[in-house]
């Protein structure tokens, strides 16, 4: 009779063999999709050489006459806080500044945003089927403060946009924004100790744009993560004679319907093509299928699609369980994060209890406190990666089995099956998407990882076959968050110059990511930003920003208590470098990303390339995140505040002689 030890050893060997076969399958599928041009296979719509493609970036939602009728921001005006970005991120920063008491009146806050209103991603994206994939109770910010009760477990686009305006009104911020604005640069003035910000305000087609110079004591870059729409460089795309638009600029004049009415009557009798099968397309395709004559879905990489489980909010459950205690929302955010990062406490109830909260291996991307720091040795890294694959296997196998069960045609089901770890692409959730491929007028055009070959005036060409189309929808996503090595100025498309004219671009190029907690950087006083490097991260971005915003507001409030209302706060160089060392210690955690298929998370595979020398390797390690998860990061920030939030900063008064 075999001993328990031999049984365990045999079981581990079997698991190891299964793990290895799975990794080999993933590698084979990823190899089909690697391209030498990486992110260069795409073009930002604003930079397209074709006038037609470039015009796809234009704002279809702005009410220019109403915006032009508002009192104009004066050239040379000074504000205490200028916040670049009027989406949820910017609003959360501003709300926390208000709550901390450092915002007291008119002239204290000005939002700058390219959009024509509040909302950020929910302003731009208004496509049919739009919902947030995170539970509304943890995603919609400041629910306790505003007293709002979401209609459903997952909020739709119009509700999310309305909530942005609700937050602005609640905190008396709704008249403190300059929309349709492009920021060119921000310069710190060493003498006056303020930021000089150069902007252009678009006034619509009937008026000339305005160039303005503004001043700010504090400057926040809160321009979001996925903000610059792009498209693949498909040869002759501009020659397509049918209608064409990007999902982030949906054209209801073509499709019929409205952002709050998805009755797409304009699709009747039409052949509609959609390029892309990511998180957006998962929501759009079922809506297209309702009325279009034919739908062609052009796929490079299939999405991992799990169940959604939408349902209305139960008022009694809301009152007695969900929102019963003060502080319920941040507690629920933390609860979801613990389950998502394999760090749930023994006996802890999964409050969100949806598919997202069961993707525990997503911790490969956002970190986990469970395993501590991974030693950067080959054997320890192999052990870590194997553990993540094993953790991921039940979920991915369940999703693959679900696809095979729902999609009736075996070949189509096989082509819709995702072969990559769950951390490699945004996981998706739908109770409609896979089902539409059972309809006779919905056609999957699988490009086998290569993408569309070319366009003609009549349609698209894949593997030598032309697919005639009347309407083409580009569900092709946005510029990768890793653009510019995570430099917040690069992501926001602005130039930022600190003390003695030092460029933030130059600092990033020379040193790599250089921050404290991913929120501020030496040489750039009174500058705060949302980061993708050197910080804590969560799948729920609103949770992440909520944590950042509370901490930054505390730093500003403490600085003003110490130095008065004209405080100048700058992180110390030694604190910044000490933080970089802590981040580099944890870089080995993210080695599992090396097994990923190309996508925006890996900058289309460029992030997987081996550094060319030791200096590049150090820069890459500095661009890692806090690998021990968001709750661990929160505890670290709380410790900073308890010991004195200003201990890592130089704080002076701008009025001191």
The pLDDT value given to residue 3: 44
The H or E element spanning position 363 is helix 363-366
* Residue pLDDT, tens place only, 157-168: 999 999 999 999
Q: For residue 4, is pLDDT > 60?
A: no
| Mean pLDDT computed over 489-505 | 95
3-state helix, strand, coil in the chain (%, to 5): 40, 20, 40
| Mean pLDDT computed over 331-347 | 95
Which class for 200: exposed (0-12), middle (13-18), buried (19 or more C-beta within 10 A)?
A: middle
> What single DSSP character describes residue 429?
E
Instruction: Give pTM, 2 decimals.
Output: 0.95
The rounded mean pLDDT for the chain is 94
Contact 140, 150 (CB under 8 A): yes
Nearest to 313 by CA among 300, 322, 304: 322
Nearest to 541 by CA among 233, 216, 231, 122: 122
The pLDDT value given to residue 486: 80
Contact 29, 449 (CB under 8 A): yes
* Residue pLDDT, tens place only, 614-644: 888 999 999 999 999 999 999 999 999 998 8
The pLDDT value given to residue 645: 76
Residues β-bridged to residue 292: 268
The H or E element spanning position 216 is strand 210-221
Q: For residue 8, is pLDDT > 50?
A: no
Give the 3-state secondary structure of 269-333: CCEEEEECCCHHHHHHHHHHHHHECEEEEEECCCCCEECCCCCECCHHHHHHHHCCCCCHHHHHH
The pLDDT value given to residue 12: 61
Contact 416, 403 (CB under 8 A): yes
* Residue pLDDT, tens place only, 179-199: 999 999 999 999 999 999 999
The pLDDT value given to residue 2: 42
Three-state secondary-structure class, residue 39 = helix
Q: How many Å apart are CA 627 and CA 45, to the nearest integer?
A: 34
- Which is it for strands 78-84 and 177-178: parallel, antiparallel or unpaired? unpaired
pLDDT: is 63 or 6 the higher one?
Answer: 63
* Residue pLDDT, tens place only, 501-528: 999 999 999 999 999 999 999 999 999 9
* Residue pLDDT, tens place only, 368-423: 998 889 999 999 999 999 999 999 999 999 999 999 999 999 999 999 999 999 99
Other Cβ atoms less than 10 A from the Cβ of 317: the count is 11
**Confidence label for 9 from pLDDT (cuts 50, 70 and 90):** very low
Residue found under tokens 């509304």: 136
Q: How many Å apart are CA 469 and CA 465, to the nearest integer?
A: 13
Contact 222, 97 (CB under 8 A): no
374: left (phi over 0), alpha (psi -120 to 50) or beta: beta
| Mean pLDDT computed over 547-561 | 97
Q: For residue 603, is pLDDT > 90?
A: no
Contact 452, 422 (CB under 8 A): no
Q: For residue 444, is pLDDT > 70?
A: yes
Q: For residue 657, is pLDDT > 90?
A: no
- Which is it for strands 459-462 and 454-455: parallel, antiparallel or unpaired? antiparallel
The pLDDT value given to residue 7: 40
> What single DSSP character describes residue 71?
P
Q: How many Å apart are CA 358 and CA 320, to the nearest integer?
A: 25
Nearest to 238 by CA among 476, 51, 43: 51
Contact 511, 486 (CB under 8 A): no
The pLDDT value given to residue 11: 54
The pLDDT value given to residue 197: 98
* Residue pLDDT, tens place only, 264-301: 999 999 999 999 999 999 999 999 999 999 999 999 99
| Mean pLDDT computed over 611-615 | 85
Helices (runs of H) and strands (runs of E) counted in the chain: 22, 22
The pLDDT value given to residue 52: 96
Three-state secondary-structure class, residue 199 = strand
């Amino acid at each position: 009779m075999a001993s328990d030890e031999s049984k365990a050893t045999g079981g581990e060997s079997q698991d190891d063999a299964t793990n290895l076969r799975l990794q080999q399958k993933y590698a084979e599928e990823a190899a089909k999709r690697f391209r030498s041009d990486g992110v260069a296979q795409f073009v930002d719509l604003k930079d397209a050489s074709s006038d037609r493609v470039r015009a796809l970036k234009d704002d279809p939602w702005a009410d220019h006459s109403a915006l032009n009728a508002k009192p104009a921001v004066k050239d040379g005006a000074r504000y205490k806080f200028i916040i670049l970005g009027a989406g949820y991120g910017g609003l959360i920063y501003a709300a926390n500044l208000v709550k901390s008491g450092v915002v007291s009146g008119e002239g204290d806050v000005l939002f700058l945003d390219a959009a024509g209103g509040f909302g950020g991603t929910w302003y731009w994206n208004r496509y049919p089927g739009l919902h947030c994939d995170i539970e509304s109770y943890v995603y919609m910010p400041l629910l306790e403060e505003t007293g709002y009760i979401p209609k459903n477990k997952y909020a739709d686009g119009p509700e999310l946009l309305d909530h942005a305006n609700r937050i602005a009104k609640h905190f008396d911020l709704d008249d403190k924004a300059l929309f349709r604005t492009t920021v060119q640069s921000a310069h710190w003035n060493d003498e006056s100790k303020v930021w000089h910000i150069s902007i252009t305000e678009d006034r619509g087609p009937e008026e000339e744009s305005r160039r303005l110079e503004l001043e700010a004591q504090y400057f926040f870059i809160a321009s979001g993560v996925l903000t610059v729409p792009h498209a693949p460089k498909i040869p002759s795309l501009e020659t397509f004679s049918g209608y064409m638009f990007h999902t982030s600029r949906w054209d209801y004049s073509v499709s019929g319907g409205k952002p709050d009415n998805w009755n797409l009557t304009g699709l009747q009798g039409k052949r509609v093509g959609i390029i892309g099968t990511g998180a957006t397309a998962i929501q759009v395709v079922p809506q297209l299928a309702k009325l279009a004559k034919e739908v062609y879905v052009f796929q490079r990489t299939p999405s991992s699609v799990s169940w959604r489980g939408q349902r209305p909010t139960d008022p009694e459950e809301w009152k007695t369980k969900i929102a019963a205690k003060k502080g319920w929302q941040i507690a629920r955010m933390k609860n979801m994060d613990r389950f998502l990062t394999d760090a749930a406490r023994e006996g802890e109830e999964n409050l969100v209890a949806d598919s997202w909260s069961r993707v525990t291996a997503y911790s490969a991307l956002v970190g986990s406190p469970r395993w501590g720091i991974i030693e950067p040795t080959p054997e320890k890294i192999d052990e870590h990666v194997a553990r993540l694959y094993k953790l991921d296997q039940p979920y991915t196998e369940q999703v693959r089995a679900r696809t095979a069960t729902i999609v009736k045609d075996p070949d189509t089901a096989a082509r819709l099956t995702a072969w990559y770890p769950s951390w490699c692409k945004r996981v998706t959730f739908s109770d409609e998407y896979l089902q539409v491929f059972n309809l006779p007028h919905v056609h999957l055009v699988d490009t086998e990882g290569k993408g569309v070959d070319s366009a003609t005036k009549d349609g698209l060409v894949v593997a030598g076959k032309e697919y005639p189309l009347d309407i083409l929808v580009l569900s092709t996503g946005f510029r990768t968050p890793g653009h510019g090595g995570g430099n917040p100025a690069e992501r926001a498309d602005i130039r930022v110059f600190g003390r003695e004219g030092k460029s933030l671009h130059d600092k990033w190029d020379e040193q790599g990511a250089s921050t404290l907690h991913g929120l501020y950087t030496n040489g750039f006083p009174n500058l705060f930003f949302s980061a993708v490097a050197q910080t804590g991260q969560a799948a729920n971005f609103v949770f992440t920003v909520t944590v950042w915003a509370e901490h930054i507001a505390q730093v500003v409030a403490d600085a003003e208590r110490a130095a008065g209302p004209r405080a100048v706060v700058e992180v110390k160089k030694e604190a910044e470098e000490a933080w970089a060392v802590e981040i580099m210690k944890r870089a080995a955690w993210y080695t599992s990303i090396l097994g990923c298929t190309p996508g925006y998370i890996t900058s289309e595979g460029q992030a997987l390339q081996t550094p060319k020398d030791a200096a590049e390797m150090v820069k890459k390690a500095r661009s890692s995140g806090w690998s021990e998860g968001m709750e661990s990061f929160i505890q670290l920030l709380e410790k900073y505040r308890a010991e004195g939030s200003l201990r890592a900063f130089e704080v002076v008064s701008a009025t001191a002689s």
